Chains A and B, each alone.
Chain A
């Protein structure tokens, strides 16, 4: 039987669970990082990304409602996270739409759920399922540690590229900048909650598993973005990725 890990061991295990399935080496991420996407490709990304991250406060709302009252600090964190996503400053999705408009698409197209791919719909549905059905601590592990905490490292790489290679202005890419601060806070608070409350071997293993699955879902989503929107214009050979 697996033993209970101490907080340092458990944190390292969570980080490894996420790292092993990073989407950073997917064709879409490589095309983005090397400046090879067109503004039309980035428009399609924004039209999909909106439906993945847009309901984040909704996902957390379900977790909040099911989090035991005795975990008051965890509940307060979820509430603060929801507030910051929606009304703490500019609404985060409004900044995503600003970027989308700079790419050439429209607010209406971004908000129209008919413009997301089947895979994006699957990722969104997975997030809802985790929020509604999993143990709330496991849900925090999946949604906050597994997904949200990864955002700063992704955007820290992508934001300079958007300015330098794609020629966007500072205001146009503010969506990416703000997540470097807010998601650092959210991700770290998520770790604190999971490390404190996943207090049995069984719960720790479920947290690790959901981080792995979350990373797989994100990789699936990113891979589909390439297949659905980019592959016809940009082959794997052109990305130096052909086997």
Chain B
């Protein structure tokens, strides 16, 4: 099991989840981190599920081609797309102040 923390304002929501968890999939079926996590297309295009990784970034897999395309230079700010991440380790995330405009096709 892994521990996922989701910070929103002054609140911290936390839950133990199975490894290989995708937070957009979970939100889509109305489980934690629903209703806190914003997401849109679920296919790495719209950028709505972009999160800042506050802790655990080093253990995440390398960004895939969709994250590189949508987040462009913002990967350096610690942003990742939740829909593209299958989590294997503990992680702390927030969407506070995160806004991503995807590049035009």
Interface positions of A (Cβ within 8 A of B)? 84, 88-90, 170-171, 174, 177-178, 181-182, 184-185, 188-189, 192
Contacts and interface: CB of A to CB of B under 8 A. Distances in A.
Interface of B: 22, 24-25, 28-29, 40-46, 64-65, 83
B42 A84 contact: yes
**Chain B binding surface SS class:** loop
Contacts of B42: 84, 88-89, 178, 181-182, 185
Contact of B46 (A89, A171, A178): A89
Given A88-B41, A89-B43, A90-B45, A181 B25 contact: yes
20 contacts: A84-B41, A88-B40, A88-B41, A88-B42, A89-B41, A89-B42, A89-B46, A90-B43, A170-B65, A177-B43, A181-B22, A181-B24, A181-B43, A181-B83, A182-B42, A182-B43, A184-B22, A188-B28, A188-B29, A189-B29
B90 to A, nearest CB: 22
Given A170-B65, A171-B65, A189 B28 contact: yes
Interface SS majority for chain A = helix
Contacts of B44: 178
Of listed A89, A90, A185, A189, residue having the most chain B CB within 10 A: A185
Contacts of A170: 64-65
Given A88-B40, A170-B65, A185 B45 contact: no
B40 A89 contact: yes
Contacts of A185: 24-25, 28-29, 42
